[in-house]
Amino acid sequence: MSARAAGLTRLAFWVLLTLPPASPAAPRDLPDFAGLVRQHGPEVVNVSTIAAAKRDRAPESGDDFSDVPPDALRGAPDAGDGASLGSGFIISPNGYLLTCAHVVEGAAEIVVRLADRREYRARLVGSDRRSDVALLKIDAENLRAVTIGDPVRLRVGDWVLAIGAPFGFDSSATSGIVSAKGRSLPSENYVSFLQTDVAINPGNSGGPLFNLKGEVVGINSQIYSRTGAFMGVSFAIPIDIAMRIVEQLKSGGAVHRGWLGVSLQEVTHGLAAAYGLDRPRGALIADILPGGPAARSDLKAGDIVLEYEGRAIGLSSELPPLVGLTAPGTRARFKLFRRNEGVTEVRVNVGELREEPATKVSLPVRRSDAGHRLGLVLSELSAVQRKQYDIASGVVVEDVLDGAGREAGLRIGDVIAEVDGRAVTGLSNFYRLVGQTKSAHPTVLRVRRGSSFVYLALNPP
């Protein structure tokens, strides 16, 4: 090696020695869950019950989704004949507590154990199966109560924390994020659930869901599971809904819900285009039940509800919970989009929901890209079918081939009653009405399906 090369090597080595060491990667700013648990753990309780008769409520093996809450799923801890375990939390210093209705359903005795191991026998003030909320009372004073938060301010992706007793393990904390808001589950249209990925297992039911401020934003209630244990999807009752239920349970022990008497469906892209809406939004009134509050109002089948009492409706599933929380007798304000008329407002006297719900939400119809013709085999309505479907006129879909009919979502057995708001009196009349459509927008079909109506958007050839 030449003297010059040796000198360059020594210089490079000296430079490396004098460089400052690489600084370690800065730690990410993560929530202080330890502080939240330390501060708010004493506000959470264990709830144990003894039922008059033990019931096995486990779902059949292989169920993909069950509205059966976590404590009822296979693997729940058993403390003896008819015993079950759950969680709850204190909402007032004088002994009022919240838990899930399914935790205390059928209980002959309810025992509440505080974080400091004190035990009290609890009285059931009232429960509401529809919302899965139950209010308990124990004879105690100066208790640590939770702070109630605002779930409306939650964003998808926000951190949340659950404290409860999964499988009977007291004061267990699990964390995650808000996965979605406004979830409507198959078992219940009157609660708009929060979806999270917080680990919720048998025993967590009735426990609180905290935000990072230490405020309760929900009650952990249900899970999606194929195994009976946590699989990454859990649901919580928004605390604002629960507290409105509490007010009614305190005052009378029963809950009175608002009711419209309508059948709803989602607004698809095709229907939005047919109506001239800028985007799919709102709740489409597919049918109005005879004798209900809506039937006695200016609401019409085919109206799209854009706002209810000033609150925007993005999905059809958002409307039933808002109506349900409205006091019966309220004259509620609806902002509607009415085809060929545009935006209008009507007021409706909200009725009271009885034992059987009459407001339901239909899922969007699946669509196919196949074909460019109608592809329908139709027949005239017989006298028997008119009586069966309780409809004066229309045409029956006997078969659906590749074409525009299949794309629109028509099914075998559907009865096409209207084309763009005009009654279908027979086969020739149906094809004439479809052929007369000259608008750039799709044609809107009103279809009798089963016991209710749905609206479909048809792209004619």
User: Which sequence positions are flagged as catalytic?
Assistant: 102, 132, 205
The pairing of beta strand 360-362 with beta strand 331-338: unpaired
Do the beta carbons of residue 47 and residue 122 sit within 8 Å?
yes
Q: What are phi and psi of 140, to 5 degrees?
A: -150, 155
CA 106 to CA 188: how far, in whole Å? 20
Q: What value, to the nearest 5°, has the Cα angle with vertex 64 and ends 58 and 67?
A: 55
Q: What string of DSSP letters covers 40-62?
A: HGGGEEEEEEEESS----PPPTT
- Please count the helices (runs of H) and the strands (runs of E) in the chain: 9, 29
- Amino acid identity for residue 222 in this structure: Q
**Longest pairwise C-alpha distance within the chain:** 111
CB neighbours of residue 294 within 10 Å: 29
Of 347, 279, 282, nearest to 312 by C-alpha is 282
CA 434 to CA 374: how far, in whole Å? 10
How far, in Å, are 95, 168, 242, 343 from residue 246 at the CA level?
14, 26, 6, 36
